[in-house]
Structure 1
Amino acid sequence: MTLDAATTALYRDIVRRNPAEAEFHQAVAEVLHSIQPALQRDPSLRDAGLMERLCEPERQSMFRVVWTDDNGAAHVNRGFRVGFSSALGPYKGGLRFHPTVTLGIVKFLAFEQIFKNALTGLGIGAGKGGADFDPSGRSDGEIMRFCQAYMTELHRHIGAQTDVPAGDIGVGSREIGYLFGQYKRITNRFEAGTLTGKDLPIGGSLVRPEATGYGVVYFLEAMLAQRGQSLEGKTAVLSGCGNVSQHAIVKLQEMGATVVACSDSSGYIYDPAGIQPDVLNEIRNVRRRKLDAYPEAVPTAKFVAGKTPWNVACDIAVPSATQNELGEADAIALVKNGLIAVAEGANMPCTPEAVNVFQEAEIAFAPGKAANAGGVATSALEMQQNASRAQWSFPETDQKLAETMRCIHDICLTTAADYGKPGDYVTGANIAGFLKVSSAMNMLGLI
């Protein structure tokens, strides 16, 4: 849908005020286009500068992180934390440690988080953070010292009622443990609800490591059921082989699908008999090797260097690596090879052109802010457990996750239909999230 004059002017002003932040511009443009039907139905949504406030972060922090490697050499990285919206609760969102992290990347992720967190129905606002630090190839001691240096500054900005970080790319339970240890050391308080994604002995939640990957599959299940289909007998291809992909593979194959390919930065593996999760875990998490080592353990598999897996024929695609990884040519190839559904496991992994290809071909398409919301939803459940000093069982927490994902699916579907876009999960997710956040913003007054 074409932007009206007022929204066009707003978008141009956002681009002017946030130069050289292409991913942030892209995320804002998608939302502004999607919510046009809501703005046309209720022009009062433009009152009190609501749109301008929605697209401007409440706070942005950028700071120097100085740490030493194992040889005693000093290194300087740049750390970030953006609190975008606290209308629904304390800022909530992950930390990403990767060389590509910039302020613009963090702002795009935090902006997406507004709508994702609103869709969960839980009392959490939206934030994101990270650093341009590359943990790959670093020792445990180096990673610990970096995390401690990063938290030495970050602790000023976070807290269970203020801002609750979690993990993202490059930040798993090991890093969260180091970060939480330094927070505890500096503040002299064991405030378990200040970070989520912790290991169980220090206040973590069962299902949290699996939550994003499992949640994507629960959303896929609901989306296919809406079309009278199931995961049974389907073939799937995923990008990435980190936390999200590994657990999505497990759940897909539990539900009867066969995952024939997944990838990392060096290439992808293909096995028509199905990727073996135990072997993948051993290669990636225990031995910390690239995927080229996988065929050494599974002779039926082959490794394709320097390529993405989107030329592999499949019924289901789950891009789960990073933003804008799946382009228009990839989408065309997938559709030509028989694709029926896409669920984004990463944040904005499909380019706008790729999304258009999927929607024009009437492929069931689930945007990341809906499909991968299971991770942050279970983080909020971890916060609940921390607040009551409790720990729920795996089945209980998994059931809550599955119910949340089905609710998100249904909200997206019914909202899209209500606004004249039946089956358009992008429109449904953006409008549903926008209406919830805008309502809270109006209740809170002009702040």
Structure 2
Amino acid sequence: MSRDTDGLQLTADAYRTIQVRDGHQPEFAQAAYEVLESLEPALKRHPEYLRSGVLERLCEPERQIIFRVPWTDDTGAVRVNRGFRVEFNSALGPYKGGLRFHPSVNIGVIKFLGFEQIFKNALTGLPLGGGKGGSDFDPKGKSDAEIMRFCQSFMTELHRHLGEYTDVPAGDIGVGRREIGYLFGQYKRITNRYESGVLTGKGLNWGGSQVRTEATGYGTVYFVDQMLRARGEQIDGRRVVVSGSGNVAIYAARKVHELGGTVVAMSDSEGYVVDEEGLDIEAVRELKEDRGGRVKDYAEEHPRARFVDNGSIWDVPCAVALPCATQNELDDEAATTLVRNGVVAIGEGANMPTTPGAVKVFQDAGVLFGPGKAANAGGVATSGLEMQQNASRDSWHFDYTDTRLSQIMADIHDSVREMAEGYGAPDNYVLGANIAGFTKVADTMLDLGVI
């Protein structure tokens, strides 16, 4: 391919290569397309990117690791799962990104998440590369002993690829503080080293950071509040719908409440619960985190609330929508409904929860749209803060760490908006986030030679 071609042709060629090589990985192809289609203005302005092959290099992981994870269940039967780690790009620092344990995990899902992580980490301003990992293991229905044995087997293979200056995993769906504890224990056991910076999301007693549990949800709301303030508005007094009821959704809802908004609906895989006067967020947290309940249980315990097991949570009218569940949960039909019902801002708490068609609906309607690589960067930002504390053998209190998180999210918002304004589209946060993240990584790759 000629290096003298224009930006549009170059991005088309890069995407065509992905389709040929990785067409069987739709999530990765979708994530790559969403970034590539935004880059034409940057490629026209910076011809050095056209001659360097930086696009092709960015779209191909530095390393893809797939391995067998054998473990023994409580009956003594041997089970086998598949483990993954995609070390996508280390131009800015060690690979950084979570581990996801869920039956839907495959190499395409991990590549999509790792690709997004490159740009998300770049936007934080912290020296972090991008990576992701996980397994098709399902922790649901497993005993603590089974989860421990699985985690130990998983880390027995993965440990050789990790290090605080090499690759630093964290948690994600299906991987919380319990799983991180089992993983770190096995890493310490095998290596005979107490490298607390090799994993983030740890317990507070052994190197974890305050606010890490809340960080992704809090950060999403901080970002949305910044978007609204740029228009002279705010979350205070707004009706908000939050999809999901896991970690990100719960703490996003809590921060909405703290900023004066009203969360009227939340969901899980069985349906959604609505309370027109506002959900009791601490009751939802207690139900989900302490009792392992479902949102339908909330409706049974709170007379004002009603549970809906059909339709879509996006049918509930709101001013702010926070998709915090999973990828591609909000399609163009749901987006059209939200616009019709008066939505003014969207913040992606999950990774790529909005389909390309839905994003276009929002942008055409002038709705503020915060893409996940900017809006949900609070989790990895606080992981970076955890790494700083581990490196200095320090521990920060909650309010200080939360203030750092809030400032990082404000800085991300400002850098994304400034980049979008520089390209003549101040409210296009997708364009701003993609170009801001890309240019930081691409410039560094050029500085380091052909890597």
Same fold (TM over 0.5): yes
Distance 2:235 2:150 in 1: 42
Partner of 2:256: 252
Indicate yes or no: 2:233 matched with 1:221. Answer: no
Cα RMSD for the two superposed structures: 1.1
* Offset of residue 7 of structure 1: 2.0
Q: What's 1:303 paired with? A: 307
Shift in Å at residue 297 of structure 1? 2.2
Equivalent residue for 2:67, pick from 49, 63, 77 = 63
Query: Quick one: which of 212, 218, 224 aligns to 2:216?
Result: 212
2:374 to 346, 370, 375: 370
Read off the aligned partner of 2:417 and give its amino acid letter: L
Q: Look up the SS of the partner of 1:148 in the other structure.
A: helix
Q: Which one of the candidate residues 20, 23, 38 is aligned to 1:16?
A: 20
What is the aligned counterpart of 1:233 among 234, 237, 246? 237
C-alpha distance in structure 1 between counterparts of 2:159 and 2:149, whole Å: 15
The equivalent of 1:169 in structure 2 is 173
Q: Which amino acid in 1 is paired with 2:120?
A: K
Segment of structure 1 superposing worse, 98-107 or 295-304:
295-304
Residues 137-152 of structure 1: matches in 2 within 5 Å? 137-152=141-156
Distance 2:145 2:278 in 1: 36
Structure 1: distance between partners of 2:200 and 2:312: 32
1:405 matched residue in structure 2: 409
- CA deviation vs aligned residue, 1:31-54 (integer Å, no higher than 9, x gap): 111111000111111222111111
> Deviations along 1:328-364, whole A, 9 cap, x unmatched?
1000001111101000000110000000000000000
- In structure 1, stretches of 5+ residues that fail to align are none
Shift of 1:296: 2.7
Partner of 1:421: 425
- Deviating more after overlay: 268-277 vs 101-110: 268-277
- 1:38 is matched with 42
Task: Decide whether the 8 Å contact of 1:3 with 1:33 is kept in 2.
Answer: no
What do residues 383-409 of structure 1 show as CA deviations (whole Å, max 9, x unaligned)?
000011100111111111000000000
Which amino acid is 1:212 matched to?
T
Q: Could you tell me which of 336, 343, 347 is aligned with 2:351?
A: 347
Residue deviations 1:142-201, cap 9 Å, x none? 111111111111101111000000011111111111111111111111110000001100
Q: 1:280 aligned to 2:284?
A: yes
Aligned match of 1:155 = 159
- Give yes or no for contact 1:311–1:334 (8 Å, CA) kept in 2: yes
Q: Give the distance between the partners of 1:249 and 1:219, measured in 2 at CA.
A: 14
Helix, strand or coil: the match of 1:322? coil
Corresponding position of 2:3: none
Instruction: State the SS of the aligned residue for 2:37.
Output: helix
Of residues 432, 435, 440, the one that matches 1:431 is 435
Once residues 244 and 116 of structure 2 are traced to their aligned partners in structure 1, the CA distance between those partners, rounded to angstroms, is: 20
Paired residues of 2:7 and 2:50 also in contact (CA < 8 A): no
Determine the structure 1 residue equivalent to 2:397.
Answer: 393
Distance of 2:36 and 2:226 partners within structure 1: 27
> Residue 79 of structure 1 contacts residue 131 of structure 1 at CA under 8 Å; is this kept in 2?
yes
**1:111-138 deviation line (CA, Å, top 9, x unaligned):** 0011100000000000000000111111
Deviation at 1:11, TM superposition (A): 1.1
- Please give the secondary structure, in 2, of the residue aligned with 1:88: coil
The size of the alignment, in residue pairs, is 446
1:428 shift after superposition: 0.1
> Does 1:107 find its partner at 2:111?
yes
Displacement of 1:308 after TM fit? Answer: 3.1
1:373 deviates by 0.2
Give the Cα separation in 2 of the matches to 1:190 and 1:30.
40
Worse overlay, 224-233 or 302-311: 302-311
SS of residue paired to 1:205: coil
- The residue type equivalent to 1:439 in the other structure is D
**Cα distance in 2 for residues equivalent to 1:69 and 1:273:** 46
Q: CA deviation at 1:240?
A: 0.8
Residue matched to 1:264: 268
Post-superposition offset of 1:306: 4.3
Residue in 2 aligned with 1:131?
135
Letter in 2 for 1:373: A
d(CA) in 1 for partners of 2:194 and 2:281?
A: 35
Alignment check: 8 A CA contact 1:268 1:307 kept: no
Would you say 1:89 and 2:93 are equivalent positions?
Answer: yes
Distance 1:396 1:122 in 2: 18
Q: CA 1:356–1:411 in 2, change beyond 3 Å: closer, same or farther?
A: same
1:3 Cα deviation from its structure 2 partner: 6.9
- How far apart in 2 are the matches of 1:420 and 1:331? 25
State TM-score, norm by structure 2.
Answer: 0.97
Alignment of 1:40-55 (within 5 A): 40-55=44-59
The offset of 1:10, in angstroms, is: 1.8
Q: TM-score, normalised by structure 1?
A: 0.98
What per-residue deviation string (whole Å, max 9, x for no partner) do you get for residues 81-134 of structure 1? 001000000000001111000000000000001110000000000000000011
Deviation, 1:19, is 2.9
- 2:316 is the alignment partner of 1:312: yes
Contact 1:263 1:308 in 2 (8 A): no
Cα contact 1:325–1:349 (8 A) shared by 2: yes
Cα distance between partner residues in 1 of 2:134 and 2:280: 32
Runs of 4+ in 1 over 6 A off after TM superposition: none
How much does 1:71 deviate? 1.4
- Paired residues of 1:233 and 1:258 also in contact (CA < 8 A): yes
**Do the aligned partners of 2:92 and 2:122 also contact (CA within 8 Å) in 1?**
yes
